[in-house]
Chain A
Amino acid sequence: MISDGVEDEEKWLAAAITGLQQNSFYMHRALDSNNLRDALKYSAQMLSELRTSRLSPHKYYELYMRAFDELRKLEMFFKEETRRGCSIIDLYELVQHAGNILPRLYLLCTVGSVYIKSKEAPAKDVLKDLVEMCRGIQHPVRGLFLRSYLSQISRDKLPDIGSEYEGDADTVTDAVEFVLQNFTEMNKLWVRMQHQGPAREKERREKERSELRDLVGKNLHVLSQIEGVDLDMYRDTVLPRILEQVVNCKDELAQYYLMDCVIQVFPDEYHLQTLEILLSACPQLQPSVDIKTVLSQLMERLSNYAASSTEVLPEFFQVEAFAKLNNAIGKVIEAQVDMPIAGAVTLYSSLLTFTLHVHPDRLDYVDQILGACVKKLSGKGKLDDSRATKQIVALLSAPLEKYNDIETALKLSNYPRVMEHLDDGTNKVMAGVIIQSIIKNRTHISTADKVEALFELIKGLIKDSDEKLHDEIDEEDFNEEQNSVARLIQMLYNDDPEEMLKIICTVRKYILTGGPKRLPFTVPPLIFNSLKLVRRLQSQEENAAGEEVAPTPKKIFPILNQTIEALSAVPVPELALRLYLQCAEAANDCDLEPVAYEFFTQAYILYEEEISDSRAQVTAVHLIIGTLQRMNVFGVENRDTLTHKATGYSAKLLKKPDQCRAVYACSHLFWVDDSDSIKDGERVLLCLKRALRIANAAQQMSNATRGSSGSVTLFIEILNKYLYFFEKGNSEISVSVIQGLIELITTEMHSENMTPDPAADAFFASTLRYIQFQKQKEGALGEKYEPIKA
C-alpha cells in the first residue's frame, strides 16, 4: 500500500513538472515577444501546478523550486516592462485578475518585489499588503511555501536602517512587524498540520512537519539580521512577540524547535539581558516539551560565551544570571514531576558547567547545585538507572577537571552526599576518577583533615559496603583498584613531621577496615611512607631540655609493628617478613637495638611458623642474611643469637645446593668490612668448610641417584668465596687451602663419570683468569696471589 503511494507521488510529481515545463515554455515564448497578456496567462497556468494537494512536503519542494526559478525570469521581464513605460501600479492590479488565488498571490508577490524596487511606494506599504493578502491561503503546505516565497523575495527589501528602502522614523518597526506577522502566520499553518488527517498517521505528519520547520525558523533568522533591531527593540518587541506565539500555539514540536531557534539565532549578549523573559516562558510551555534540553543548550551557549573572554563576565554578575538560571531550573524540575532523574541531573550538570565558567571562585554556588541535586535524589537510595548514574559521574567530574585540585572538591559539603546515591560499581568508578585526577595533577594532600575527607569520599574502594558483593568483583579490576589506592597513599605528604604522622595514622585507620583482601595492597605503601618519615627524623636531635617534642622514630616503630601484624589476618607471611626486615634496618639506623631485635624476632617467627614453601624459604633466608649482615647496632649476644638461627635455617633448607649457597652466604655474617669487631676469620672458614661438606654430600647423592657426578659449580662458588676472604686478609684462609680446592675441582672435572658442564667449565676458567689478573697486580695483592698455581 505504502509503496503504491510513493510510486503514485512520483508519478504526480513528474506530471506536475511536465505541466510546469510546458507552460513555462509558452510563457518564455510570450516573454520573448513582449506579450504581457500571454505571459501572465501561461505563468498563471504554470503556477497552478502548485495548487496540488497530492504531494508530500519533500516533493512539493521540488516543484516549488522549479517554479521559483521561472518566477525570477518573470520578475526580470516585469522590470523591463516598467522601464518600457508600463505602470507598476497597473501591473500590480493586472496580475490580480488571475483566476485562482494561489497563482494570483505568487504573481502579486513577484510584482510586489519590482514595485518596492521602483520605490514608487514605501516598502512598508507594499509588504503590509502582501503579508495580509497571503492570508487567502489557509492550506498548511501551500501556505507555508507561499509565505516562504514572500520571505525570500522580501529579504533584501526590508526597510531596515541603512538600507535603500529605509522609511521614516518607525522604519525598523515596520520591517520587524512585517517579518513577525509572516512568522506568526507561518507558525499557525505549521501547527495546523499536526491536526490534519487521521490519528494513525500522526508519525508521518510529524516527520513531514520536521521537514518544513526551517521555513518557519528562517523568519527568526531574518529578524536577527535586521540591523535596526538593537537590544531594546529585541527586548521590548521582538522577543515578547515571538514568545507569545510560541506559548500560545500550544504545540510541542513548534515550541521545542522555536525555543531552540531563538537561542541559536540571537546573540548571547541579548540572551543574557533578556534572561528573565526567556526563562519565564519555559514553565508555560507544553509539559511534553523537552525543556531541559532547551535550557541545557542555553546554558551551554552562555558558558561558551563566558569562556570566550573575561571582559563579558561582569555582565553575568550584573544580570544575576546564576540566580535566574538556578531558579528557572528549580521551577522546571518542580513542575515536571515525572522528569526522569537523568534529565534532572543533566540540567544540574549544565548549570554546574555554566557556574564553573562564570563563577569559578564561588564554591558556594557549586555546592548549592550539588545540594539541589542531593535533594532531588533524596529518598531514592542507590540509583540503578545507568543513564542517571552516567550523568552524575559527569556532574562530579566537572569540578575535578576545572579545579585540577582535589582540595577544592573536598570543600564541597554536598559532594560526598551525591556520591552516596551512586550504586557501588559506579561509586568505585567515581572514586577511581578522583584518584586519577590526583595522580595526574601530582597534587600532594597535605593535612590529616583533608586525607580524612578524601578517604571518606573514596570509601567505596577502601572497604566493603554493607552488601556482600565479593563474588561479583572481577579480580583484575579489584587489583587495579587497590593498586590505585596504593599509589594514592604515595601522594599524601607533608614536610612537617607532626602533620605527616597524623596523616599516617589517619590512613592507617582507614586501611585497617579494608579486610584481608585489601591489606596486602594498602599496608606496604603505608609502611614505606612511615619509613621515609623515620629516616627524616633520624637526623633530628632531642631539644636542649631532653624532651622529645616532635614525633620521634621511637613513637613510629610501634605503629609500624602493629600495622604489619595486621597482615597476619590475610595471611601473607612472605610480605610481612620483608616488611619486618625493612623496619629492622630502619631501627638499626636509628640506633634502637631492642626495636631492631624485636623486628628480627618477628621475622624469624614468621619464617619458622609460616613459610614452608621451599623456594620462598630460599629467598627469605637470603633476605635475612643480607639484612643481618648490615646490622651494626647489635651487641655480641644478640648478634650471636640471630646469626646462629640464620645459619641454622640455611643448613636446613630442603635442597642441598640451596643449603650450600645459604651457608656460604652466612660466612659474610662473621666478616663485615666496615666493622672492626666483626672479623672472625675462624667462623668464616668454618662456614665455608661446612658449605664444602654439603657440596660433597650433594655430589654423593648425585652419584647414588643418577650414576654420575653432579656439577662442580658449587665447589667453584666456594672457591670464589675463599678468594674473597683471602683478599680481605682472613688469615685462616691460606694458600694451601685454596690450592687444595683448586686441585679438587680440577680432579672432579676430569673424572670419568663427570657429566660435561660447559657453564661450570667457563666459570672455572674465568675464576682462574681472575687469579692470574690478581697475580699481575702490583703491591701486596700481587704478592699474596703469587704462590697460587692455577
Chain B
Amino acid sequence: MVLVLAIGDLHIPHRAPDLPPKFKSMLVPGKIQHIICTGNLCIKEVHDYLKSLCPSLHITRGEYDEDARYPETKTLTIGQFKLGLCHGHQVVPWGDLDSLAMLQRQLDVDILVSGHTHQFKAYKHEGGVVINPGSATGAYSSITYDVNPSFVLMDIDGLRVVVYVYELIDGEVKVDKIDFKKTATAATH
C-alpha cells in the first residue's frame, strides 16, 4: 500500500495566500510516500513545504512557477503503475480529455496526472486513467468558475488504485473515492 498525494495549482501568493487550514491540518509529514505536483506552486516556500511533507517530491512546470527548472513532463513507476505528470497548459484544448489521452499514450503511462483547469477530474478509458487534482487552494481560474479547493490521494496496492478526492465545499471537507483496476495483460506492454 503506497500513498501518493496528487496536488497542484496552488498559485501562492499570486491568487491565494495559503492552503486552507483544514487541508493543512490533514497533510502531515510521514504519512505519504510520494507527492506528485502538477505545478504552479508558485514560490520556493511552497516547494519547501511540500518537501517537508515527503522527500519524494515530483513537480512539473506550470506557467507561473518561479523555478524554471522543473521539467515539462515527468514519468515515474510506483508499484505496478506507471504515472505521468504534466501541468497541462501545453495540451490544447485545455482540459480536453481526448487530447490528454493522447499525451497519456505518448508518455505510455497508466495514470496521467495533469492540472491547469483547477477542476477535479478522474476519467477512465481503455488506455488508463486521467486525473486532475484541481487547485488545492481554490485559486481563481479563467477556465473554471467557482473553484473548490481540492487534492487527490491515491492508494496504490498491487494492480489496484483507489483514488480519494478531498474537496472543501462550504467550509467542510468532503471525500469521494473511485476504484481503478489495471488488467494484468496491460502490464506486458
Q: Which residues of A contact B (CB under 8 A)?
A: 439, 442, 479-480, 483-484, 486-488, 490-491, 524-525, 528, 531-532, 535, 578, 582, 585-586, 589, 619, 622-623, 625-627, 629-630, 665, 668, 672, 713, 716-717, 720-721, 724, 727, 759, 762-763, 765-767, 769-770, 773
Q: Which of A524, A630, A716, A766 contacts B14 (CB 8 A)?
A: A524
| Interface pairs (19), CB distance under 8 Å | A439-B18, A483-B43, A483-B45, A484-B13, A524-B64, A525-B14, A578-B64, A622-B90, A623-B89, A626-B94, A629-B94, A630-B143, A720-B106, A724-B98, A724-B102, A763-B106, A763-B108, A766-B189, A770-B126
Q: Are B127 and A773 in contact (CB under 8 A)?
A: yes
Q: Given A629-B92, A668-B93, answer yes or no on A491-B17 (Cβ-Cβ < 8 Å).
A: yes
Min Cβ gap B143→A in Å is: 7
Task: Give A439's nearest chain B residue, CB to CB.
Answer: B17
Chain A residue at smallest Cβ distance from B11? A528
**Minimum CB–CB distance for B131 against chain A, Å:** 18
Q: Which of B21, B101, B140 contacts A528, CB < 8 Å? A: B140
Task: Tell me which residues across on chain A come within 8 A of B13, comparing CB atoms.
Answer: 483-484, 486-487, 490, 525
Contact B140 A665 (CB under 8 A): no
Residues in B neighbouring A578, C-beta threshold 8 A: 63-64
Beyond known contacts A619-B63, A724-B99, A763-B106: 17 more, CB 8 A cutoff: A439-B17, A483-B13, A484-B13, A487-B12, A487-B17, A524-B14, A535-B140, A585-B142, A619-B90, A623-B89, A625-B92, A626-B89, A626-B93, A629-B92, A765-B189, A769-B189, A773-B126
Asked if B49 is at the interface (CB within 8 A of a chain A CB), the reply is no
Taking CB as reference atom, which chain A residue is nearest B106? A763
CB neighbours of A759 from chain B (8 A)? 108
Least distance between A778 CB and chain B CB atoms (Å): 14
Residues of B within 8 A of A724 (CB): 98-99, 102
Find chain A residues with CB under 8 A from B12 CB: 487
Spell out B's residues near A (CB within 8 Å): 11-18, 21, 43-45, 63-64, 89-90, 92-94, 98-99, 101-102, 105-106, 108, 126-127, 140, 142-143, 145, 189
Chain B neighbourhood of A491, CB < 8 A: 17
Complex contact B89–A622 (CB within 8 A) = yes
A483 cross-chain contacts in B, Cβ below 8 A = 13, 43, 45
Closest B residue to A585 using CB positions: B142
Residues of A within 8 A of B45 (CB): 480, 483
Q: Which residues of A contact B90 (CB under 8 A)?
A: 619, 622
From B93, B98, B143, give the contact of A727 (CB < 8 A).
B98
Report the bound CA distance from A762 to B186 in whole Å.
12
Rounded to whole Å, the gap between the CB of B22 and the closest CB of chain A is 12
Contacting residues, chain A, for B145 (C-beta < 8 A) = 535
With A and B bound together, what is the CA distance between A525 and B13 in angstroms? Answer: 7
Cβ of A358 to closest chain B Cβ, rounded Å: 32
| Cα separation A531 to B16 with both chains bound (whole Å) | 13
Q: A625-B92, A668-B93 given as contacts; is B142 within 8 A of A766 (CB)?
A: no
Assembly CA distance A582 to B105 (angstroms): 30
Which residue in A528, A625, A627, A770 is a CB contact (below 8 Å) of B105? A770
* CB neighbours of A524 from chain B (8 A): 14-15, 64
Q: Is B189 touching A762 in the complex (CB atoms < 8 A)?
A: yes
Report whether B105 and A586 are in contact in the complex, using a CB–CB cutoff of 8 Å: no
A763 vs B12: C-alpha distance when bound (angstroms): 36
Residue pair A532, B105 in contact (C-beta under 8 Å): no
**Chain A residue contacts of B106, Cβ below 8 A:** 713, 716-717, 720, 763
Q: Which residues of A contact B15 (CB under 8 A)?
A: 490, 524-525, 528
Question: Roughly how many angstroms separate A490 CA and B44 CA in the complex, as a whole number?
Answer: 18
Q: How far is the CA of A672 from the CA of B92 in the complex (A)?
A: 11
Closest 8 CB pairs of A and B: A486-B13, A585-B142, A487-B17, A762-B108, A766-B105, A490-B17, A524-B14, A773-B126
Minimum CB distance partner of A666 in chain B? B92
- Across the interface, which residues of A come within 8 angstroms of B102, CB to CB? 717, 720-721, 724
> Quick one: which of B14, B92, B99, B105 contacts A767, CB cutoff 8 A?
B105
Nearest residue, chain B, Cβ from A527? B14
Q: In the assembled complex, how far is the CB of residue B162 from the closest CB belonging to chain A, in whole angstroms?
A: 24
CB contacts (< 8 Å) of B44 on chain A: these are 479
Instruction: Return B147 CB to nearest CB of chain A, in Å.
Output: 11
Q: Contact at B63–A623, with CB atoms within 8 Å?
A: yes
Partner pick for B94 among A630, A727, A770, CB 8 A cutoff: A630
Q: Which residues of B contact A766 (CB under 8 A)?
A: 105, 108, 127, 189
Are the C-beta atoms of B142 and A582 separated by less than 8 Å? yes
Separation in Å of the A476 CB from the closest CB of chain B? Answer: 9
A379 to B14, CA, bound (A): 41
Provide the bound-state CA to CA distance between A442 and B21, in Å: 10
User: What are the residues of chain A within 8 A of B18 when measuring CB–CB?
Assistant: 439, 487
A486 with B14: in contact, given A765-B189, A766-B189, A769-B127 (CB under 8 Å)? yes
- Assembly CA distance A396 to B21 (angstroms): 27
Chain A CB within 10 A, most for which of B106, B143, B145: B106
The residue of chain B having its C-beta at the shortest distance from the C-beta of A763 within the complex is B106
User: What's the Cα separation between A622 and B99 when bound, in Å?
Assistant: 14
* Minimum distance in angstroms from A346 CB to a CB of chain B: 34
- Cβ–Cβ < 8 Å partners of B63 in chain A: 578, 619, 623
Contacts of B43 in A (CB 8 A): 479, 483
Complex: A535 Cα to B146 Cα, angstroms: 10
Distance of B142 from chain A, by nearest CB (Å): 4
> Quick one: closest B residue to A491, CB to CB?
B17
B102 to chain A, nearest CB (A): 4
Provide the bound-state CA to CA distance between A713 and B108, in Å: 13
CB contacts (< 8 Å) of B98 on chain A: these are 724, 727
